[in-house]
Amino acid sequence: MSMTVQKRLMRELAEVERNAAAEFDLGSSEDNLLVWTAVLRPPAPSLYQGGVFHVSIRVPNTYPMTPPAVKFSTRICHPNIHWKSGDVCLDILKTAWSPAWTLRTLCLALLVLLDNPEVDSPLNCDAGNLLRCGDKRGYKSLVTMLTALHATPASASSSPN
């Protein structure tokens, strides 16, 4: 890893430690600054409230010019998150990425995505189809049930496999 990337990540880590957020924890691996983990706790009135979602973040050597790879480790029912792999479809992880983004602001964007799904680019077609056909009640029931099943504090370490 270049010295530029290392300095940037050290600054981001210090910022996260200085300004802890109630909605998420974020930190790097002790032995690899390119491997980070986030734990998201969506607040009320989110459909995902009460859930604890683990997210793995792999930072490339070309960061911040290139976005990190992000995957949910905890199973989650969401149109823009693949049910099995945990892959995330989010514009800032693709075409809208800018070096102005940080891993902290990325976590905030993930929390916003949870309650503002983009149904036109689903990775989870079942969840996307419920919203596209206007079945908000069915979507809410499915999200609530699967959050309780997979993302409660006791089950939050569930692997997507």
Tell me the CA distances in angstroms from 35 to 3, 12, 86, one per residue in order: 16, 13, 16
Q: Which residue do the tokens 């957020």 mark?
A: 21
| Amino acid in the structure at residue 57 | I
Paired tokens of 96: 């809208």
Per DSSP, helices labelled H in the chain are 3-18, 103-115, 125-132, 136-150
89 is catalytic: yes
Q: What is the DSSP string of 109-126?
A: HHHHHHHS--TTS-SSHH
- Which of 89, 107, 125, 133 is catalytic? The answer is 89
| Cβ atoms of 97 and 67 closer than 8 Å | yes
Q: Which residues are catalytic?
A: 89
